[in-house]
Chain A
Amino acid sequence: MSMSRQPMASRHALPVKQLLLTLLAWSVAFVIFFPILWMVLTGFKTETAAIADPSFIFSPTLESYQAVQARSGYARFAINSVAVAFGSTLLALLIAIPSAYAMAFLPTKRTKGTLLWMLSTKMLPPVGVLVPIYLIFRDVGLLDTRTGLILVYTLMNLPIVVWMLYTFFKDMPKDILEAGRMDGASTFQEVWYLLLPLTLPGIASTGLLSVILSWNEAFWSLNLTSSKAAPLTAYIASFSSPEGLFWAKLSAASTMAIAPILILGWMTQKQMVRGLTFGAVK
């Protein structure tokens, strides 16, 4: 994690201070990471060991994983998750790129207000619109469909995606786009040949964030899907209700659910950090 970079930043500090800072950073990282670690460990325990006194010492077993696999197809849920997370991200970017372009390069008096208003919709508890959305989805036949979930996730992430893209686009020198226009670029060519390549790190980290948010979303997926379009979050949840609480199996299922996104995040962490701090450190 990025925490391990701490010693680099304070290279010139006193050794003791540096050591303390490093320790602190690692402790914070550990506290944040601990529940995930515990979940992973529990997944390798037997059901009895899982509910016994907490312990790091146990003989690992794949029992729970086998049980989970045997019960229902992980793959089906995973495919739904991938489709929904990436589909909604793609759709959100498709809508947000033109919006952010307009806001960053052709602002009006109301641009700032619109941006803030968009963000303010995120303050509304989702449950507040559950009933209307449920009814609409039922009437137009979007319940338990990937399309429905993609639509909801797109709407859910759009404010953040637009906002992030807007800040990245704002950092782009206007001159370069004007030079493109002088060279004969249409608005689409301007975006395609100049804006997108030059803000790619920002777009990538925005997309990644959107994928992660969609992947981990549970409220809408539990309420709007049942079987056909259920993603991994619904899969995890299915382990807590029908069979009572089986900690080890639940943990194994959760581990399998977060593994892909964890790996994706880990592979792209450099990109993420760069994107999220873009502009702040330049």
Chain B
Amino acid sequence: MATLQLHDLVKRFGDTEVIKGVDLDVEDREFVVFVGPSGCGKSTLMRMIAGLESASEGDILIDGQRMNDVGPADRGLAMVFQSYALYPHMSVADNMGFSMRLAGVPKAERRAKVLEAARILQLEPLLERKPKALSGGQRQRVAIGRAIVRNPGIFLFDEPLSNLDAALRVQMRIELARLHEELDATMIYVTHDQIEAMTMADKIVVLHDGVVEQVGSPMALYHHPRNRFVAGFIGSPTMNFFAVEVAGLDAEGVRVTLPGGGQCVVPVDGSRVQQAATLELGIRPEHLRLDDAGPLGGTIQVLERLGGQTSLYIETDGGLVTLMADGDVAYRVHDPVRFGFDASRAHLFDAEGLACESLKAHPLASLTRQDNRVSPQAAP
């Protein structure tokens, strides 16, 4: 149970600035996920919160207390490392009990806490084993157990599942979500994995080059990306972008001319755009639909059938476009296709890459993970 605030946090290694002024508010019991491309500073930011790296500038507050000069063990948080970082020469029980041993907790109490954590994580039969004799998933659980026994207010996870195979990852993901509920703790989680981010987060923090691009619920990020980077980063496959020209502005939104001459009205705030300016239109592959009368067209370059869905990679005048279609579409490679989209699904980005604000918020944009648990009938 703890809150976390970062104020204008900066980290420099020598002359290179790696974290460039990060502000963040994490509420009690929130599950916050850091995502971003490799090297953007996710681990560095997390290590600064943990106290393993010092802050060059700015403040780290936990429960309102400035923690910059407090040692890692005294910040009331625990970290699970990507490599697990178990102590190879200690048994599972000793691994989990190490922090208490250092703190001089009596043996019986230590044992009880270790057993409790082992119960939560189903590690009881393995307590006397050495890490060497465990599978990847079991090691992961021991690493989590080591964090749990410290009873931290904040859990930090740095890509904890990236060394596991796909099936185990799904299982651990579910287990972590369950754990979050059971432990009532604040969790901060770094991942590369879109699905982990979308499914586990209350709040996603998109980092890029040491800067926070956007903070929001998964659905807010998906439906209302603040800029082109977030639009391209969240969602898989990646959003398609076309250059379009502003043909008119009205109360409905911005009228744009698509490549190929078609027009549509995107329902966004046009107060910042000028007549005849060139903008970028973004539309997700799953929001494009095959339509013989559609305004866009091209030739299929690659076709990937996944069973339930088919991905079409279409060469158009505006570049390569990805389209997610039904699993049963009858097209083949090199077939010409036409397609269109619902303009309310489209996004417009100005020359700086900033998104024009939607005139109408998506109904799910303010949805939190908690809301998923409430049945629609019970909702007011």
Chain A at the B interface: SS class: helix
Q: Give bound CA distance, A184 to B73, whole Å.
A: 5
The segment out of A51-59, A170-178, A230-238 that lies at the interface is A170-178
- A259 interface contact, C-beta 8 A: no
A138 / chain B contacts, CB cutoff of 8 Å: none
Judging by beta carbons under 8 Å apart, are A173 and B85 in contact? yes
B88 / chain A contacts, CB cutoff of 8 Å: 176, 198
Judging by beta carbons under 8 Å apart, are B102 and A185 in contact? yes
Judging by beta carbons under 8 Å apart, are A179 and B89 in contact? no
Judging by beta carbons under 8 Å apart, are B103 and A179 in contact? no
Judging by beta carbons under 8 Å apart, are B99 and A178 in contact? no
- B50 interface contact, C-beta 8 A: yes
Judging by beta carbons under 8 Å apart, are B98 and A178 in contact? no
- A227 interface contact, C-beta 8 A: no
Q: Give bound CA distance, A183 to B74, whole Å.
A: 9
Judging by beta carbons under 8 Å apart, are A189 and B102 in contact? yes
B150 / chain A contacts, CB cutoff of 8 Å: 183
A-B contact count (CB 8 A): 51
Judging by beta carbons under 8 Å apart, are A184 and B87 in contact? no
Q: Of the candidates A176, A182, A197, A198, which one forms a contact with B50 in the assembled complex, judged by CB atoms under 8 Å apart?
A: A182
- A133 interface contact, C-beta 8 A: no
Chain B nearest CB from A202 CB (Å) reads: 14
Q: In chain B, residues 84-104, which have Cβ atoms closer than 8 Å to a Cβ of chain A?
A: 85-89, 98-99, 102-103
Judging by beta carbons under 8 Å apart, are A178 and B52 in contact? yes
Q: Of the candidates B73, B83, B103, B146, which one forms a contact with A181 in the assembled complex, judged by CB atoms under 8 Å apart?
A: B73
- B79 interface contact, C-beta 8 A: yes
- A119 interface contact, C-beta 8 A: no
- A276 interface contact, C-beta 8 A: no
Chain B interface size, as a band, is: 20 to 34
Judging by beta carbons under 8 Å apart, are A183 and B146 in contact? yes
Chain A nearest CB from B105 CB (Å) reads: 11
A181 / chain B contacts, CB cutoff of 8 Å: 52, 71-73
Chain A interface size, as a band, is: 10 to 19
Q: Give bound CA distance, A183 to B83, whole Å.
A: 16
Q: Which residue of B lies closest to A186 (CB)?
A: B102
- B229 interface contact, C-beta 8 A: no
Q: Which residue of A lies closest to B150 (CB)?
A: A183
- A7 interface contact, C-beta 8 A: no
- B78 interface contact, C-beta 8 A: yes
- A194 interface contact, C-beta 8 A: yes
Judging by beta carbons under 8 Å apart, are A179 and B73 in contact? no
- B339 interface contact, C-beta 8 A: no
CB within 8 Å for A182 and B78 given contacts A175-B83, A176-B87: yes
- A265 interface contact, C-beta 8 A: no
- A98 interface contact, C-beta 8 A: no
B89 / chain A contacts, CB cutoff of 8 Å: 197-198
Judging by beta carbons under 8 Å apart, are B87 and A179 in contact? yes
Q: Which residue of A lies closest to B80 (CB)?
A: A179
B52 / chain A contacts, CB cutoff of 8 Å: 178, 181-182
Q: Give bound CA distance, A244 to B99, whole Å.
A: 67
A193 / chain B contacts, CB cutoff of 8 Å: 98, 102
Q: In chain B, residues 305-360, which have Cβ atoms closer than 8 Å to a Cβ of chain A?
A: none
Q: Which residue of A lies closest to B147 (CB)?
A: A182
Q: In chain A, residues 40-69, which have Cβ atoms closer than 8 Å to a Cβ of chain B?
A: none
Judging by beta carbons under 8 Å apart, are B81 and A175 in contact? yes
Chain B nearest CB from A1 CB (Å) reads: 30
Chain B interface (Cβ < 8 Å from any Cβ of A): 50, 52, 71-74, 78-79, 81, 83, 85-89, 98-99, 102-103, 146, 150
In the complex, 5 of the A-B residue pairs with CB atoms within 8 angstroms, ordered by the A residue number, are A173-B83, A182-B78, A184-B73, A193-B102, A194-B87
